[in-house]
């Protein structure tokens, strides 16, 4: 697919991209790129292998800027990352995508964007902006989930700590993704080959600042998740201490009773209490007094 960057993206044929003042956007499959890459006259000798994409980055070449995108699926953070590559010069940008990720983004741009001063820089900015368009809402969703987990901890309910662990993993993935996007944006802003107009470099700076703010939010949420985990562990420690206290109290109360039972369970013939009419009631009363005295002692010490 080929598009001209005019007041909006205008779909066109491949031959229309040449000899026109308007810059272009092309979306090719890997096989189409291998077949037609020389037509774009970007002087690229390297092969852009989509299967070997593992990060979002940009690299400056002699006659072009090449790079890759490695995007987490916001709707399912556990799904496989979306991968595609790109190559650009002052005439336009070519995306190499084996799926429909780029076409989906371009369709959204065509439906929502109309430019007073069209340019390649403005298109790239809108393209990058579409990638992070719903990220703030996603981070707010994660924050609300963590608030609910924190509330359950404070109310002594069963918190979903497994979900908290998943959110922490997603946030770390997003933080890495944002770092890569910032690096890519700064590489474009450097404009080493003078492909971009100086007055339009602000678009890359705007995008970099926006991603930096998202990254700050992610770092804040990661700190919040660590606090929730610490709070949960503290609650567990308190519960365990309560259980140990109760077990200690019970053990302490029954220790003298066990001693008495063991003492009078010995098979000696001459034990004075065995012949006493009041021996049995006295032992019972002594045991009751020991229990009552122990309970009073523990209550005063606030161990119960």
CA-CA distances (angstroms) from residue 8 to 53, 70, 78, 206, 242?
30, 26, 35, 21, 68
* Count of C-beta atoms within a 10 Å radius of residue 272: 7
Closest by alpha carbon to 95, among 33, 147, 187, 6?
33
In a domain, 214, yes or no: no
Could you tell me the maximum CA-CA distance found in the chain, to the nearest angstrom?
123
Instruction: Tell me which residue range forms the domain holding 26.
Output: 1-114
- Mean pLDDT lowest among 63-67, 240-244, 275-279: 275-279
In a domain, 88, yes or no: yes
What's the pLDDT at 193? 82
- Mean pLDDT lowest among 18-22, 85-89, 232-236: 18-22
Residue 35 banded pLDDT, cuts 50, 70, 90: confident
In a domain, 125, yes or no: no
In a domain, 185, yes or no: no
In a domain, 87, yes or no: yes
Residue 273: its H or E element? helix 272-275
What's the pLDDT at 45? 57
Query: What's the CATH number where 272 sits?
Result: 1.20.58.340
Query: CA-to-CA distance for 72 and 292, rounded, in angstroms?
Result: 65
Q: Domain end: 82, 114, 146, which one? A: 114
Domains: count for the chain: 2
What's the pLDDT at 20? 63
Q: Domain end: 98, 114, 130, which one? A: 114
What integer is the mean pLDDT of 11-38? Answer: 77
- Summarize pLDDT for 126-154 with one digit per residue, the tens: 999 998 888 999 999 999 988 998 888 88
Query: What's the CATH number where 14 sits?
Result: 3.30.460.20
What integer is the mean pLDDT of 146-163? Answer: 84
In a domain, 67, yes or no: yes
Asked whether the predicted pLDDT for residue 270 surpasses 80, the reply is no
Model confidence, pTM: 0.76
In a domain, 275, yes or no: yes
- Summarize pLDDT for 166-221 with one digit per residue, the tens: 989 999 999 999 999 999 999 888 888 888 888 888 998 999 999 999 999 999 99
Sheet holding 24-28, edge to edge: 9-12, 2-5, 24-28, 92-96, 82-88, 65-71, 57-60
- Mean pLDDT lowest among 31-35, 77-81, 277-281: 277-281
In a domain, 120, yes or no: no
Query: CA-to-CA distance for 229 and 166, rounded, in angstroms?
Result: 13
What integer is the mean pLDDT of 223-227? Answer: 90
What's the pLDDT at 49? 60
Asked whether the predicted pLDDT for residue 265 surpasses 60, the reply is yes
Output phi, psi for 102, to 5 deg.
Answer: -65, -45
Q: Domain end: 114, 133, 148, which one? A: 114
């Amino acid at each position: 697919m080929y598009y001209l960057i005019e007041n909006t993206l205008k779909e066109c044929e491949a031959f229309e991209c040449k000899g026109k003042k308007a810059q272009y956007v092309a979306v090719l499959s890997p096989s189409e790129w291998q077949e037609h890459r020389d037509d774009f006259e970007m002087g690229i000798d390297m092969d852009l292998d989509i299967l070997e994409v593992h990060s979002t980055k940009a690299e400056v070449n002699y006659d072009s800027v090449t790079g890759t995108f490695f995007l987490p699926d916001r709707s399912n953070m556990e799904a496989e990352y979306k991968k595609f590559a790109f190559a650009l010069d002052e005439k336009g940008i070519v995306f190499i995508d084996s799926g429909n990720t780029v076409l989906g983004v371009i369709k959204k741009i065509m439906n929502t964007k109309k430019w007073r001063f069209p340019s390649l820089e403005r298109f790239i900015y809108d393209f990058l902006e579409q990638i992070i368009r719903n990220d703030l809402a996603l981070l707010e969703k994660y924050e609300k989930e963590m608030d609910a987990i924190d509330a359950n901890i404070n109310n002594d309910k069963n918190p979903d700590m497994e979900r908290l662990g998943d959110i922490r993993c997603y946030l770390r993935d997003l933080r890495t993704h944002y770092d890569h996007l910032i690096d890519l944006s700064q590489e474009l802003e450097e404009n080493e080959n003078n492909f971009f107009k100086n007055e339009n470099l602000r678009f890359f700076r705007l995008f970099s600042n926006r991603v930096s703010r998202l990254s700050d939010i992610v770092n804040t949420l990661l700190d919040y998740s660590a606090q929730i985990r610490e709070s949960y562990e503290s609650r567990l420690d308190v519960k365990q201490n309560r259980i140990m206290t109760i077990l200690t109290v019970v053990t302490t109360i029954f220790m003298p009773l066990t001693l008495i039972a063991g003492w009078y369970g010995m098979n000696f013939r001459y034990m004075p209490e065995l012949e006493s009419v009041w021996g049995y009631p006295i032992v019972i009363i002594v045991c009751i007094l020991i229990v009552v005295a122990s309970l009073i002692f523990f209550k005063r010490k606030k161990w119960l």
